[in-house]
Structure 1
C-alpha cells in the first residue's frame, strides 16, 4: 500500500481552547427536524466500532436511526486491543465496513488509501474547527468525533475515610504519601489505594499507551516537538516511579497482573475496593451504571514528578477519527455520511455521543453531564495546562506490545526495568525505521 504524507493541523495545540467550543449549546428541535436528508436513500452503513464500552449505546442509536430513516445500520465492535487486526480482516471483505476509525497520523499511514475525502461533506461542515480534521495532503481523511480526558479516577469518600481530601494531592510526592499510607492501613481501612493494573489485553492499553504518554509528553515539551523518530527516554525514571506506585499499592500482588482484566479493575473500583483507578472520561457511564454517584467521584491528574505539577491538568485529546471507506459504493458512502451528520446534529445523536462518548467538536453538540469531562473543564478554566495526547505518535502497535510485555515481566519479577527502557527507547527507533 502506498504511503502518503500525513498532516494533522494543530490538533494538540488547539485542543485546550477548542475542546469546548461546541458544547455550550444544545441541539435544537426534535431528532427528525435535525436529521440529514435520507429521502430515497438506497445505501447502507456498516460501522466497525473501536470502543467496546460504547457498544450497547451504538447498537441502540443505530436501531433508532434505521427506524426513523429506513437505512440499515450495522455496528460491529472489535474486541479490546484487536481493532487493527479486525479492520485488516474486515476491510477486504465484500461487505466491508463503510465507516472505520484511525488513531491519528500514524494510524492513517496504514489506511490512507481507504479514506474518502470528507472535505466538502456535510459532516466536515459541522466541525467547530478544522483543527479536528485529519489531513492527508489536501484531503480530509478523517474527522475527530470526540475529545476525551483521562487521569486517576478517585473515590472521594474512601479518600476522606483515609483522612485525606483532593486538595491534599497536588503532586506525585503527595500521591505517593497518600497511597503508601493507605497501603500501610489497608486491613484497618478495608480498601486498597489502587485497583489492579491489569496487563491482560483488555486493560494493558491503560499503561503501555496512556501512562506511557506521560514520559513522551514531557520529553516533547522539553524539545518543543510533536513527534520524533527516536525517543531518548529522559523521563523513564518518572514512568518507573508511577508504575511502582500502582503495582505495589494495589488490590493484588504485582505478580498477578498478567491475568487481571479491564473488568477486574472496573469492578474493584465500583465495589469500593480501591481509592484510585487510572482510566478516562469514557468510564463515567459504566461506573454510574454500577451505582456510583457524582458525590463520590472525581478525576485528578496523573502526577509523575515532572513538569509544573501545580499547574498540570488532565490528559486531554483524541485518538478517535472517523474515516469513510472510499472503496464502498457511492450509495453506501452517502448513506454513511448522512448517518454521521445525523449523529452530530440531531438531539438523539448528540445526546448519545455526549453522554456515552464525551465532548464532541461539532457546532450542535449537546452539553455533557459527564462529571469527568466537567472536571477537565474546571481544570482548564482554572488555568491548568492539559497534558496533550502524544501517544498517537507511538511508532507502531508492536512497539506498544513490547513495552507492555516488559512492564508485565518487571511487575512479575521475571524482568528488569532495563528491559522496559530497552523496549521503550530501542524499540521506538527500530519500529519507526520499519514503518518509514
Structure 2
C-alpha cells in the first residue's frame, strides 16, 4: 500500500486513527560540509515514486553532500518479501517502510527510535499508536488515505443515480443493478472491475470492511488471539455483488484473478468502460494520467457491511517511514533531516500537497493553499469530517495473513476450488495458529 480541498485538515485528522507526523525541521540545512553521505530509500508507494524523486533532487541541491538513492517496489509486488530479501542480501536501506504493530515487532531489531524527532509532537491524535510501544515511536506516517468505491459521476448522472442516496448495501445493490441494465446505452463493458490478482485489495482492503466492525483498531486486531469473523456473511455479500457485475476477461468468474491494478484503474475505469471500482484516493494520479476529465469527475462511495457501518469508508495511514538503526550516525541524521524537511518545511509541504497528492497526518497544513485539491481527497475529508469512517485494522493482521491467506483463498473461491465456508474456516484457523 492523496486527497483534499475545502475542509479543515485539523478536524479531519482528529477523526482518523492511524499514524503520524508533523513539525518543524532543520529546513534541509544539514551536512552541507564534510564527507559525502549516501541515504538509500527502499519504499513501497509506486504512486509517490516520481514525487519522491523530485523531492530528493530538490533536497540534494540544498545539501550537496547528501546523495539520496530511491528504489521503489510495489504495484503488485510483495514489498514485505522484497524488503526481507534486501536486508538478507546485505544491501540494507537507510530508510524503509513498516505497516503497523506486526511490522514493528518483526523489524524491532532494525528500527531507530524516532520519539525525539520534532514531528512527533505535531502528529494528529491516534496516528502514532500503530508504531509506538513502551520503548518508543518507530515510524513516521506517509499520509492519510481512504478507499471505497470510486465512481464516474457523469455515468451515474446519465443512469439517473443520485450518489448521495447510496448509504446502505441495499442502495448500492440497487445502483449496481441499474447500471447493469443500462450498460449498452452507457457504453459500459461491465458495471465495475475487480482486480482479484491484487491480493492486497481483497485480502486486506475488502476484508477490512468486515473486520473493522469486529476490532476497534489495528492494535486491537494485533492483540487478538482469535478471529470470530462475525460479519463474514456480510463480507461475502459485498464480494459477490462485485463479482456478479465485474469485468471478466474471458466471460468466466475465474478470469477476474488475472485482472490487476493497471487493468482495473487505467484500462477500464479511466477509459469509461466501467462505472466504478473498489480503490482509494491514491488512484487519482493514475486515472488523471489517462483521462483528466474522468479523474476530475470521480467521487467515492461507501463500502457497506449490511447492518453495521453501511455509510462509512475505511480511512487510515497506509505505511510509515522507518530508519535503520544500524546505519552510521551521519546517515541516520541525514535521513531524519530529509523526512523532517519534506513534511515540515514550506517547500516540502507544498510538494506533499501538489506533487504527492497526500493528505498529511500532521498539523501545519491549515492554510488554504495547502488544502487537498483532488475530488477523491475532498470526498474522503468529507467522510472524515462527518465521522463516517472505519479504521484500517488490517495493519494489525498477522504477517502475510491478509494477502497470502485471505486474498489467495478468495482467488480460489472465484475459480471454484474453495467454498466460502472453507475460506472463513481457514482464515480463523490460520489467525489463531499465528497468534499462539
Q: Aligned partners of 1:424, 1:337: CA distance in 2, in Å?
A: 39
CA change 1:173–1:36 in 2 (3 A) is: farther
2:312 match: 313
The aligned counterpart of 1:332 is 331
Q: 1:118 aligns with which of 111, 114, 118?
A: 114
C-alpha deviation, 1:21, in angstroms: 11
| Distance across 1 between alignment mates of 2:52 and 2:136 | 28
Give 5+ residue unaligned stretches, structure 2: 1-11
Structure 1: distance between partners of 2:123 and 2:402 = 33
Measure, in 1, the Cα distance between the counterparts of 2:116 and 2:330: 17
* 8 Å contact kept, 1:146–1:357: no
Asked if 1:299 is matched to 2:293, the reply is no
1:129–1:407: structure 2 CA closer, same or farther, 3 Å change rule?
Answer: closer
Whether the 8 Å CA contact 1:116–1:141 is kept in 2: the answer is yes
Instruction: State yes or no: 1:429 paired with 2:432.
Output: yes
Say yes or no: does 1:78 pair with 2:77: no
Per-residue CA distance 1:1-44 (angstroms, 9 max, x = gap) = xxxxxxxxxxxx98516889999xxx99xxx9943434326422
Deviates more, 1:294-303 or 1:187-196: 187-196
Deviation at 1:155, TM superposition (A): 0.5
Distance in 2 (alpha carbons) for counterparts of 1:363 and 1:130 = 13
Q: 1:387–1:130: structure 2 CA closer, same or farther, 3 Å change rule?
A: closer
Aligned mate of 2:194, from 197, 207, 231? 197
1:322 aligns with 321
Matches of 1:399 and 1:251, distance apart in 2: 24
**Contact 2:40–2:68 (CA under 8 A) maintained in structure 1:** yes
- The answer to whether the Cα contact below 8 Å between 2:41 and 2:94 also exists between their aligned partners in 1 is yes
Measured in 1, the distance between the counterparts of 2:210 and 2:114 equals 34
Aligned to 1:144: 141
Task: Summarize the Cα distance change of 1:306–1:38 in structure 2 as closer, same or farther, 3 Å threshold.
Answer: farther
Q: SS of the counterpart of 1:395?
A: coil
In the alignment, the residues of structure 1 paired with residue 153 and residue 189 of structure 2 have an alpha-carbon distance, to the nearest angstrom, of 14
Alignment RMSD (CA, Å) = 2.8
Q: Assess, with a 3 A threshold, how the Cα gap between structure 1 residues 154 and 239 changes in structure 2: closer, same or farther.
A: same
Contact 1:270 1:287 in 2 (8 A): yes
Taking a change above 3 Å as real, the CA distance of residues 94 and 233 of structure 1, as seen in their structure-2 partners, is closer
Matched length: 409
Q: Higher relative CO (CA 8 A, sep ≥ 6), structure 1 or 2?
A: 2
From 44, 49, 58, the equivalent of 1:50 is: 44
> Do 1:81 and 1:205's aligned partners in 2 also have CA atoms closer than 8 Å?
no
- CA shift for structure 1 position 115: 0.6
List aligned pairs for 1:31-430, cutoff 5 A: 34-40=27-33, 42=35, 43-70=37-64, 71-79=66-74, 80-129=76-125, 131-132=127-128, 134-192=131-189, 194-200=191-197, 203-220=198-215, 226=221, 227-252=223-248, 253-267=252-266, 268-293=268-293, 295-309=296-310, 312-355=311-354, 356-365=356-365, 366-381=370-385, 383-430=386-433
For 2:19 and 2:406, the matched residues in 1 are separated by 34
CA distance in 1, matches of 2:169, 2:260: 26
What is the TM-score when the length of structure 1 is the normalising length?
Answer: 0.86
Compute the displacement of 1:88 (Å).
Answer: 0.9
